[in-house]
Amino acid sequence: MCIQYHPAMRVRIEMRGKDGVWLAKFRKQVEIRGELVCGLREMGGRPVAFVHLSPLELLPNQAAYATPVLFEPKLCAAAGEEFSLQGWEQTEERAWCAQEWDCWLLR
Q: Kindly report the CA angle at 42 between 103 and 34, in degrees rounded to 5? A: 25
Task: Quote the pTM value.
Answer: 0.73
What local confidence, expressed as pLDDT, does residue 72 receive? 93
Q: Chunk the chain into consecutive blocks of 10 residues (it has 107) and report each block's average pLDDT, rounded to whole numbers.
A: 62 70 59 83 88 73 70 91 90 83 85
Concatenated DSSP letters of 13-35: EEESEETTEEPPTTSPPEEEEEE
